[in-house]
Amino acid sequence: MSDMKTRIYLDNAATTKTSQEVVDAMLPYFTENYGNASSIYEVGQRSKEAITTAREDIAKVLGAKTEEIYFTAGGSEADNWALKAAFEAYSKKGNHIITTKIEHHAILHTCEYLEKKGAEITYLDVDENGLVNLDELQKAIRPETILISIMFANNEIGTIEPVKEIGMIAKEHGVLFHTDAVQAFGQVPIDVDEMNIDMLSSSAHKINGPKGIGFLYIRKGVKIRSFVHGGAQERKRRAGTENVPGIVGYGVAAKRAAETMEVRTAKERELRDYFIDRVLKEIPYVKLNGDPVKRLPNNINLSFRFVEGESLLIMLDMKGIAASSGSACTSGSLDPSHVLLAIGLPHEIAHGSLRLTLGEDTTKEDLDYTLEQLKEIIGKLRDLSPLYED
Amino acid sequence: MSDMKTRIYLDNAATTKTSQEVVDAMLPYFTENYGNASSIYEVGQRSKEAITTAREDIAKVLGAKTEEIYFTAGGSEADNWALKAAFEAYSKKGNHIITTKIEHHAILHTCEYLEKKGAEITYLDVDENGLVNLDELQKAIRPETILISIMFANNEIGTIEPVKEIGMIAKEHGVLFHTDAVQAFGQVPIDVDEMNIDMLSSSAHKINGPKGIGFLYIRKGVKIRSFVHGGAQERKRRAGTENVPGIVGYGVAAKRAAETMEVRTAKERELRDYFIDRVLKEIPYVKLNGDPVKRLPNNINLSFRFVEGESLLIMLDMKGIAASSGSACTSGSLDPSHVLLAIGLPHEIAHGSLRLTLGEDTTKEDLDYTLEQLKEIIGKLRDLSPLYED
Amino acid sequence: MYSEKVMDHFQNPRNVGEIENASGVGTVGNAKCGDIMRIYLDIDDNQIIQDCKFKTFGCGAAVATSSMATELVKGKTIEEALKVTNKAVMEALDGLPPVKVHCSLLAEEAIHAALWDYAEKHGIKIEGLSKPKSDIHEDEEDEEEY
Amino acid sequence: MYSEKVMDHFQNPRNVGEIENASGVGTVGNAKCGDIMRIYLDIDDNQIIQDCKFKTFGCGAAVATSSMATELVKGKTIEEALKVTNKAVMEALDGLPPVKVHCSLLAEEAIHAALWDYAEKHGIKIEGLSKPKSDIHEDEEDEEEY
Ligand SMILES: Cc1ncc(COP(=O)(O)O)c(C=O)c1O
Ligand SMILES: Cc1ncc(COP(=O)(O)O)c(C=O)c1O
Ligand code: FES
Ligand code: FES
């Protein structure tokens, strides 16, 4: 867009920088230990061991068993797998799935696909902070309900759902519980047993791991089958030559994220709240989206009235700041963010939203600079706006 | 298995070393240009441009249009996508798919899955060299045939199928033609237009590219939909944050494979035939599997009577040689190779098969050493064998 | 994503603002994305557009096309201004990404709306100008043009 | 994949060969994988196994279990030899990967077959020994034990 290089990266919910430590761990698996992990010979066995270590490291972060972690190409594949395979495997029990209106498209579009195949889907509403209502969830459960899929934390507004309570309800009713934890894994503590989670999706590139690798946690006993059929990899449940460097990188990233979680997120929370406070005080006509407390440590989502999102993003970009927007124009789609609409924002306000997501390297100076630029840009765009009269 | 490091890697059909050039091209996309390619800001746009370049480079190798290349997580996903989505998209036309008995499991297991969904599958026989019979193919086509899926070249025995003729037949009958070219892409010339290929699967790690990335070529006009639903990536046909380093690496690997193809494969063919000649002369009771001429440049597949495959592999491994076998024990499954059975090998001979697949770095010295070791090992194992009386 | 020309007009939009007692004002909204454009025209007695200003709530392409459109109609007769189509604006900007073509329609329609307003106020009829819609409803692009 | 003990017995198999005029010979095939094992026993008048040799066409585990099994039965009485189960062989080898458990059954069955052959030749009946199958047909493992 501009010639200026990105200097301040505030779109860590979209993707993160792969940390050098992760890259270093991956490197030997490209050019030295490049063997196919299904092979019997030494260079193949080295790959296999590396995969086992990564699987163990990841399982530990979730309180899961090693053999309950199945690697995929990312969060989208994990989401597709969980929903489509559960729909097939539990067709005798029923065809009803409960989810929410604020899920990621990897869930929502999969649900639409399943509707064409005969699934009935309940899309739960959320309140103005993006939280599901547990009573409504409870009421939505029917005898033919086979799956509840509710995200752990929302990618746009950062709201953290009451996962433990949802898990309890699912368990009481004997319904499978899947959670899309792509934004939550490595950011907030997760324990699949304590939270009664049966399946969980995650993606490495959200926690300073590599792109193109994710996993689906599947609790032992959940009888879903393959999504990708073929070779006997991943205990015959996910075919394809293992992406060994990706898996190794994911293992290191997960371990690292768990180890640094407490310190890192405390710092992020502080910076986040500092920025939100200042914006709300120093810029008029602005609103914080998402729950102020039950919120991902690194998520800031603001709506600026009279301002359109794409213009805002381009202007920030020209100042070297990478951010994102719930707005239409960025995602290739022109529809306004379904999440912002679901929390009740009117169309034209949803249109002027800005998401800033902090990363492990974000500093107070970055945010101070961003705030100064933001003030100026908002002023400029409001002057351009036919909706704004000062 | 042994403590000796692999010194001679002869399993390039399983996977290849990622070339240093490829790794070097990937590296900046981990820690510098790590932006999400769907983003509007500069660091995201750099990712997007890198993806476009890779797509162009790959399209060129196939004589395809840039926008006909859709990245996947590998060959298995591409195969699954082609078959499952074609079955859904063309259900009004029919439910019949034609394939062969020697396809990769990514095709065969997907076919079995589709059979449960109501598909009728014809599995064509092959002759003793592994070639399909064009007359039989022609006769197998019915009004409700929606797809012919026949591999370009077989991964075990290296036989190259008459793809151009198959394409012609498919076209004459107005049936879609998919080919699993995972073993052929970058090894033999392919032109999707000339060969009337409608869909083609490929996987980067077979041509010195990274693991975990592949593509499905889909001819413009073929109306198959998504396999992985979600975000708007890959022209809305394959959701998931793009694996930018993987895609970049694939682009470089494809370009490189195309550029070096003539010289590299000429050298490989020479080495291959040198080794085959010597084995057939110097070791008794041995048979070459696959077509002697219509054969991948780097494939050697031999059956040694009275010898069991796994033992052979372990002994080669102990000498620092990485090879593979069509035998039961290596793949996690105990069934003998379906490919060797399909070309008519009796069970116990299929059981003693050895696949050696050369790579760009393989030398004559490697093969001489391998042959010496092989002679000794075969002797030793035959002495152990109750089937062998000398 | 955007051409240099688009970026130039986005960063330094020409003719931003309002015209008091304008001869014609047109406001158009894009139903598809929710964006809004308002154009002010100052037209003299010879039906020549002496001045033109705009305000836009919209994406980068919307701002740039507004800016370019005002440049293109300034100094033109009404008849000439009617020929400033979205295609002409896009060409002047060295093109727009496919997903942004609809944004350029806003500019065309906003000019038409301002001219219509002028015609109504002055009780004249402009040849070839029909009552503008207040909302642009383009046909959905075929999402399956693969 | 394999333990050190397995690798040792695979690389240096003990008691490879045949025994001429053996007291008993047993050959067993594994229907599952097509592998074959033959065991030769030299049993003295006190029903003590003086010598034991084998030939195996099979995987690494098959070779190693053959080797270990022959070691274990050598010097034993017939009664003791009957207690050399596949489990005992596996334990002596520090275990086998799950997919290789069936291989160890070959050894157990081959010993039984050789003993049966001995019993038949000598017209005696061995307590607790039933006619061995010539093919091992284990139950399919549950491929869905997840
Ligand atoms: C012919 C063939 N098809 C498909 C595949 C699957 O590719 P991948 O393992 O990259 O998913 C392979 C290799 O494993 C293959 O050789
Ligand atoms: C909540 C959520 N689910 C799923 C995904 C999809 O993950 P991926 O893009 O790695 O496939 C994302 C991110 O893109 C996400 O934020
Ligand atoms: S997206 Fe609304 S005008 Fe461009
Ligand atoms: S696999 Fe046949 S005996 Fe081991």
If DSSP states are collapsed to H, E and C, what string results for D65-122? HHHHHHHHHCCCEHHHHCCCCHHHHHHHCCCCCHHHHHHHHHHHHHHHHHHHHHHHHC
pLDDT tens-digit profile of C111-131?
999 999 999 999 999 988 888
CA distance A209 to C90: 41
At residue B74, φ and ψ (nearest 5 deg) are 155, -175
**In 3D, which of A132, A134, A184, A127 has the Cα closest to residue A155?**
A184
| 3-state secondary structure at position D58 | coil
Ligand 2 atom closest to the Cα of residue A13 is 16
Q: What is the pLDDT of residues B363-382, one digit of tens each?
A: 999 999 999 999 999 999 99
Residue of D nearest to A235 (CA): D146
Q: What span, in angstroms and rounded, lies between the C-alpha atoms of A347 and A331?
A: 16
Mean pLDDT, rounded, for D52-72: 95
Q: What sign does the dihedral A301-A303-A308-A311 (CA atoms) show?
A: negative
Give this prediction's pTM: 0.94
ipTM of the complex, rounded to two decimals: 0.93
Residue closest via CA to ligand 2's atom 7 equals A75
Task: Report the nearest-CA residue for atom 3 of ligand 3.
Answer: C103
**Spans of all domains in chain D:** 2-120
- Asked if residue D63 has pLDDT above 60, the reply is yes
Question: Are B79 and B106 a contacting pair, CB within 8 Å?
Answer: yes
Residue A211 contacts residue B241 (beta carbons within 8 Å): yes
Instruction: For chain A, positions 80-139, list CB contacts with chain B under 8 A.
Output: 80, 104-107, 109-110, 112-113
Model pLDDT, residue A332 = 53
Annotate C31-52 with DSSP letters as a single string.
TTT--EEEEEEEE-TTSBEEEE
Interface mutation target, options A5, A15, A87, chain B, most CBs of B under 10 Å = A15
Question: If you count them, how many residues does chain D have?
Answer: 146
Sign of CA dihedral A307, A313, A314, A316: positive
Which ligand 2 atom is the nearest neighbour of the CA of A151? 1
- Nearest by CB to residue C55, choosing from A307, A334, A384, is A384
User: Which positions in chain A touch D10 (Cβ < 8 Å)?
Assistant: none
Tell which one of D9, D30, D136 to mutate to probe ligand 4, the residue whose CB is within 8 A of the most ligand atoms: D30
Best CA proximity match to B51, nearest among B275, B174, B215, B178 = B215
Angstrom distance (rounded) from CA A70 to CA A78: 9
What does the buried/exposed string (b/e) look like for D127-139 if buried means 16 or more CB atoms within 10 Å of the residue's CB? eebeebeeebeee
Q: Among the listed ranges B78-92, B322-336, C52-66, D28-42, which one has the minimum average pLDDT value? A: B322-336
- Sign of dihedral through CA atoms A354, A373, A317, B35? negative
- The two tokens of residue C19 are 């015209």
Task: Give the pLDDT mean for B95-116.
Answer: 98
- pLDDT, residue A349, reads 87
Provide the pLDDT for residue D136: 67
Which of B40, B45, B235 shows the shortest C-beta gap to C146? B235
Average pLDDT, rounded, for chain C = 89
- The DSSP 8-state label assigned to residue B163 in this structure reads H
Q: Other C-beta atoms within 10 Å of A127: how many?
A: 13
Give kind and range of the element (H or E) at residue B114: helix B105-116
CB D106 within 8 A of CB D58: yes
What's the pLDDT at B3?
Answer: 52
* Closest residue on chain D to B332 (Cα): D99
Chain A neighbors of C38, CB-CB under 8 A: 386
Our CA-based measurement puts residue A234 at a distance from the nearest CA of chain D, in whole angstroms, of 11
Terminal CA-CA length for chain D: 21
The pair of three-digit structure tokens given for residue B50, joined into one six-digit string: 């890198």
Alpha helices, DSSP H, located in chain C: 4-11, 60-73, 78-81, 86-92, 101-122
Q: Which of C86, C82, C91 is nearest to C125 (CA)?
A: C82
- CB neighbour list of residue D91: distance below 8 Å, 6 or more residues apart: none
For residue C17, what is the DSSP state? S
pLDDT at C33: 77
Bridge partners of D42, per DSSP, are D51
| A316, A318, A324, A325: CA torsion to nearest 10 | 70
**Would you place residue A330 in the very low, low, confident or very high pLDDT band (cuts 50, 70, 90)?**
very low
B328: DSSP letter: G
Minimum Cα–Cα distance from A70: chain D residue: D146
Report the nearest atom of ligand 3 relative to the CA of A308.
Answer: 2
- C-alpha triplet B191, B193, B194: angle, nearest 5°: 70
d(CA A35, CA B359): 13
Would strands B353-357 and A199-203 be described as parallel, antiparallel, or unpaired? Answer: unpaired
**Is pLDDT of A254 > 90?**
yes
**Does C contact D via 3+ CB–CB distances below 8 Å?**
no
Provide CATH code, domain C2-120.
3.90.1010.10
Q: Is the CB of B76 under 6 A from ligand 1?
A: yes
Least confident residue range of A152-156, B18-22, D123-127:
D123-127
**Beta strand B120-124 with B96-100: parallel, antiparallel or unpaired?**
parallel
- pLDDT tens digit sequence for A203-245: 999 999 999 999 999 999 999 999 999 998 999 999 999 999 9
At A328, the pLDDT band (50, 70, 90 cuts) reads: very low
Q: Which residues pair with B97 in a beta bridge?
A: B121, B147
> How sure is the predictor about B329, in pLDDT bands with cuts at 50, 70 and 90?
very low
- Mean per-residue pLDDT of chain B: 95
